[in-house]
Amino acid sequence: MQRVIKSVSVGILLGFFTGTSAQVSQESVAAFKPPEMVVIPAGSFKMGCVSRKSCTNAERPVHEVTIASFALSKYEVTFEDYDLFTDATGRERADDRGFGRGQRPVINITWDDAVAYTEWLSEQTGKNYRLPSEAEWEYAARAGTVTRYSWGDNLGHNRANCNGCGSQWDNEMSAPVGSFEANDWGLYDMHGNVWEWTQDRYNNRYVGAPNDGSAWEVGDSTARVVRGGAWYLEGFFLRSAARDQHRTFAGSLYVGFRVAQSL
């Protein structure tokens, strides 16, 4: 009897998914648009605490890294982007915690969720999407600068979303992506809004770090580097050199991501 009930239940579920869910999936795929990408030029830079003041030991030692050209998404992945992925694959939608969906950066996604999104994006486009390495992220955030922020050494007013940045969202919630000026390479929200997942495992100093721009895959695989700071943090955490860690299995209302593409 239990087998019969299970069979009937499976049949009902299959009927439901081939109807409603398939329709949602088709609508999601039909609305799909690849992310806007910015080609980042090849080059070398000093990574870490180049200002030599107001830094943490995790940002030392400063070391030179050579970066091959790659592409990075102009904006953080939004709820609109991520909802297409979850609807098309039958995954559960991420919780926006009342911040709003649409053009706000997706939050409450794990590192594995972010990687799964890049894999789905690669399947949809036939291109190689992935998370950026930590070195690629800092190189792109600096956009050729050696100052604390891409716009200079002072936090300024209303240049980003953080606690004390002077925006309407300060210490309240994330802002819609692209709400502030881009850096010199055309990337938005590299400072503040939400922390961004990178590919690298977290190490508490740069001793032994790669100098070729590749991800550092040495250390605890469940602790990955996040970059950029977030809406609830002070300006110190928004610096181009600032770094932190987050557990891969834990989503958060202040961690999102953007995607990279090998060229």
Looking at CATH, the fold of the domain delimited by 35-262 is given as: paralog of FGE (formylglycine-generating enzyme) (3.90.1580)
Q: Quick one: tokens of 57?
A: 């030991």
Pair 247, 185: CB distance under 8 Å: no
Rounded to two decimals, what is the model's pTM?
Answer: 0.88
Cα–Cα distance measured from residue 84 to residue 25, given in angstroms and rounded to the nearest whole number: 8
CB atoms within 10 A of CB 25: 16
Token pair in block for residue 135: 């070195």
Mean pLDDT score, 246-261: 98
How many other CB atoms sit within 10 Å of the CB of residue 86?
21
Strand boundaries in the chain, DSSP class E: 37-40, 43-47, 63-67, 70-73, 129-130, 195-201, 223-227, 243-247, 255-256, 260-262
Note the pLDDT of residue 54.
84
Q: Is the bond into 61 cis (omega within 30 degrees of 0)?
A: yes
- 11 phi and psi, to 5 degrees? -65, -40
88-145 pLDDT tens trace: 999 999 999 999 999 999 999 999 999 999 999 999 999 999 999 999 999 999 999 9
User: Does the pLDDT of residue 222 top 70, yes or no?
Assistant: yes
Helix axes 22-30, 79-89, angle to 10 degrees: 140
Annotated domain spans of the chain: 1-30, 35-262
Quick one: pLDDT at residue 149? Answer: 97
Please compute, for residue 172, the number of CA atoms within 13 A of its CA located in the half-sphere on the CB side. Answer: 11
Q: What confidence tens digit (pLDDT) does each residue in 149-163 have?
A: 999 999 999 999 999
Predicted local confidence at residue 262, as pLDDT:
95
User: For residue 67, what is the DSSP state?
Assistant: E
* Alpha-carbon gap, residue 38 to 98, rounded angstroms: 30
- What is the Cα–Cα distance from 118 to 128, expressed in whole angstroms? 8
CB 188, CB 39: distance < 8 Å: no
Query: Which pLDDT tens digit goes with each residue over 168-204?
Result: 999 999 999 999 999 999 999 999 999 999 999 999 9
Q: What is the dihedral of CA 37, 42, 47, 52, to 10 degrees?
A: -100
Under 8 Å between Cβ of 256 and 194:
yes
Q: Which pLDDT score, from 0 to 100, does residue 53 have?
A: 75
Residue 23 has pLDDT above 50, yes or no: no
Q: DSSP letters of 224-244?
A: EEEES--TTS-GGGGSTT-EE
